[in-house]
């Protein structure tokens, strides 16, 4: 079963094709890396999958359902979650409060006015489980703006996982992290259960090759290569895209 199918999708900004007729199919449980130089269209492709920008042509299907016209919130209810290149957190709330908001987001009782959210034990257990798994329990009471950038990146992934998505989009999950933080995040993403399909953008090729089952390479808004990490590593076209022609 396909977790995600993008068919002939295009997005144009002011006459510039950011995504140009891209087709992409990802199987349920797969880990797919998306590589490409700056300006290749990777984040725009994420935005059209997530529903943050509309497509000018083509369509998007999640688990065989056409979601092309659905807004981002409806795609979230169908099992899609994502992180962003720039963290989108509540800086004046604690780490735990941020995680609780994420867990609460699609909880049936989220609009209840009669109880505070912290009285819902099942929500509390889910938050505790996430923070423990990602090694953030000891920082639960810290205000987010006082956390290191690495901790903020980890928290954003925790929030994306809060409601057990079926498809997780990670936009540069290791960007700005120290080598130790990169190793930690890479290991944790690799250990995610296979009932979560993962599509991720990554500039660090070593990280991409470690996590991905398959890799798609985007350049100038088009998919120019696909294959397993061994095939992509050996592809001369990829070296040319990143490093230019060697004379």
Please report the pLDDT score of residue 119 as a whole number.
58
Question: Is residue 53 domain-shared with residue 101, that is, in the same domain?
Answer: no
Question: Is residue 91 domain-shared with residue 107, that is, in the same domain?
Answer: yes
Question: Is residue 176 domain-shared with residue 236, that is, in the same domain?
Answer: yes
Domain containing 7 equals 1-79+166-247
The residue written with tokens 């992409």 in the block is 24
Question: Is residue 173 domain-shared with residue 54, that is, in the same domain?
Answer: yes
Question: Is residue 42 domain-shared with residue 138, that is, in the same domain?
Answer: no
Q: Rounded to whole angstroms, how far apart are CA atoms 136 and 148? A: 12
Q: Which of residues 122, 142, 164 is at a domain's end?
A: 164
Q: Rounded to whole angstroms, how far apart are CA atoms 25 and 2? A: 7
Backbone angles phi, psi at 2, to 5 degrees: -80, 130
Please report the pLDDT score of residue 117 as a whole number.
52
Q: Poorest-confidence range of 44-58, 61-75, 78-92?
A: 78-92
Signed CA dihedral, 145, 151, 157, 159: sign only: negative
Portion of the chain with pLDDT greater than 70, in percent: 92
Q: Which of residues 132, 148, 164 is at a domain's end?
A: 164
Please report the pLDDT score of residue 110 as a whole number.
47
Question: Is residue 158 domain-shared with residue 194, that is, in the same domain?
Answer: no
Question: Is residue 96 domain-shared with residue 44, that is, in the same domain?
Answer: no
> Is pLDDT above 80 for 28?
yes
Question: Is residue 58 domain-shared with residue 179, that is, in the same domain?
Answer: yes
**What value does the mean pLDDT take over residues 170-182?**
91
Please report the pLDDT score of residue 245 as a whole number.
61
Alpha helices in 191-228, H assignment, sequence order: 205-211
Please report the pLDDT score of residue 143 as a whole number.
96
Q: Rounded to whole angstroms, how far apart are CA atoms 126 and 128? A: 5
What average pLDDT is seen over the chain? Answer: 89
Task: Work out the pLDDT band at 111, boundaries 50, 70, 90.
Answer: very low
Please report the pLDDT score of residue 113 as a whole number.
44
Question: Is residue 97 domain-shared with residue 20, that is, in the same domain?
Answer: no
Question: Is residue 94 domain-shared with residue 137, that is, in the same domain?
Answer: yes
> Is pLDDT above 60 for 232?
yes
Q: Is 47 left (phi over 0), alpha (psi -120 to 50) or beta?
A: alpha
Q: Which of residues 102, 135, 164 is at a domain's end?
A: 164
């Amino acid at each position: 079963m396909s977790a995600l199918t993008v068919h002939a999708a295009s997005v144009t900004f002011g006459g510039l094709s950011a995504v140009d007729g891209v087709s992409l199919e990802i199987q349920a449980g797969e880990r797919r890396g998306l590589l490409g130089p700056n300006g290749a269209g990777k984040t725009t492709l994420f935005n059209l999958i997530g529903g943050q920008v509309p497509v000018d042509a083509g369509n998007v299907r999640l688990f065989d359902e056409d979601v092309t016209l659905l807004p981002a919130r409806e795609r979230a209810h169908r099992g899609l979650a994502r992180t962003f290149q720039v963290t989108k957190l509540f800086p004046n709330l604690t780490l735990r409060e941020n995680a609780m908001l994420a867990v609460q987001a699609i909880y049936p009782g989220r609009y209840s006015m009669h109880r505070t959210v912290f009285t819902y034990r099942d929500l509390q257990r889910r938050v505790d489980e996430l923070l423990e798994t990602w090694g953030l329990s000891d920082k639960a009471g810290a205000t987010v703006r006082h956390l290191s950038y690495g901790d903020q990146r980890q928290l954003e992934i925790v929030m994306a996982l809060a409601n057990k998505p079926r498809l997780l989009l990670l936009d540069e999950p290791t960007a700005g992290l120290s080598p130790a933080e990169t190793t930690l995040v890479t290991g944790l993403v690799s250990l995610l259960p296979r009932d979560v399909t993962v599509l991720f953008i990554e500039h660090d090729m070593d990280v991409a090759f470690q996590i991905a089952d398959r890799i798609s390479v985007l350049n100038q808004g088009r998919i120019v290569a696909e294959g397993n990490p061994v095939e992509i590593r050996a592809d001369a076209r990829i070296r040319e895209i990143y490093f230019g022609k060697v004379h």
